[in-house]
Amino acid sequence: MKILEGGLGNVPGFTFSAIECGIRYQNRLDMALLFSAEPCHACGVFTQNKLCAAPVRLCRERINDPIHCILINATNANACTGEEGYKNALQLTANTAVSLNVPEESILMASTGIIGVQLPVSKMADSIPSLSRGLSVDRGHDLSLAIMTTDTHPKEYAVSFESSAGTFTIGGTVKGSGMIAPNMATLLAFIITDFPIERKKLDDVFRSSINSTLNAITIDGDTSTNDTAIILAPVSKTPVTNEPDIEHFSQALLQLLEALSVMLVRDGEGTTKCVTVRVVGAVSLEDAKKASRSIAESLLVKTALFGEDPNWGRVACAAGYSGARLREEKLTIEIENIPLLVNGVPVEYSDKDIRDILSRNSFVITVNLGLGEHSFSFLTSDLSYDYVKINAEYST
């Protein structure tokens, strides 16, 4: 595998566009296209929130069709907008289809931004011809800029990998800084590849990779109305079916999603720490997930991380109420390589050494349940004053 500079623009067969439409703010990119002249297999993972946004509903209806394009907008979520919001999404994708001369059902849509406000449809529709004309292989980075909301910088990544059928590429971009939690998060993720693969296998690999990456991060425990992760791969008459090649693709996709997940947490709203919570020694994988997520989402743990306070009792407490099977006399907690609790008994440690670790912007908390062989890791952030300030002022 080789890490490439940039993101989406590394993948042959795709073009991109982004414009300043003025959907909510002036003088910022807020509307984008991701386009393939050839039809693509599409697979998607979406929010589990019962109040799903209109574009999520539209994507779920079309995701099994051959796909040419994703229309994306920021600053307005088109969520909790009723049938009018859904009709607006249909109209805008229909306009895009006409502009690109492709079938209407081959256009997906993704939106992010404020909830409960109708899209400025006329303004957006008038911008689509210009958006279509601006498609270029060189504008992948602009798309990454256009999908941002409270993000402080664009997030993109690309890798190439070898297979018996040749060298292929995967590129991706994500946005998200708050309302980040599993199933999924307030994030948009767009992944593209030139690797020809059967749709069922693509879906299996994508979902498996998502489970340990985008569905294993948390900033504030909130799951949004618009969460969307889509991968596109070319429809091919001769897809690669060789299992070693599929495995190379899977490894490359996992590396890409891991890198993008770290970028999301590092750029969390008000974040100063990006911390791995690793639970080992669990009776089952489900128990390991329960315990690691409970610790990672604990507000008391997060505030301790921000204060660089070695309060391991908050970690133990969160593991205890997680629902995972746990016995106090088996529980061990370490920060990096420094044990704080061993088999349920507190141990002496160097205050200076532990605070040196906690002052870093990245470290690992390991919790050993001592009951089995299963493990799982969550990536989490601290909770700072700035998180409250950012979200107190979001709609105004």
User: CA–CA separation, 319 vs 280, rounded Å?
Assistant: 12
CA geometry: angle 175, 176, 179, nearest 5 deg: 155
Q: Number of helices and strands (H, E) in the chain?
A: 11, 16
Phi, psi of 174 (to 5 degrees): -140, 160
Q: Which of 96, 186, 225, 366 is catalytic?
A: 186
Residue with tokens 């990245």: 362
CB-count burial class (<10 Å; 0-12, 13-18, 19+) for 348: exposed
Tokens of 236: 């091919």
- Based on the residue annotation, tell me whether 186 is a catalytic residue of this protein: yes
User: CA–CA separation, 226 vs 223, rounded Å?
Assistant: 9
Q: What is the 3-state secondary structure (H, E, C) of 156-225?
A: EEEEEEEECCEEEEEEEEEECCCCCCCCCCCCEEEEEECCCCCHHHHHHHHHHHHHCCHHHEECCCCCCC
Tokens of 363: 């470290």
DSSP-assigned beta bridge partners for residue 374:
282
Q: What is the 3-state secondary structure (H, E, C) of 212-252?
A: CCHHHEECCCCCCCCCEEEEEEECCCCCCCCHHHHHHHHHH
Q: Which residues are catalytic?
A: 186
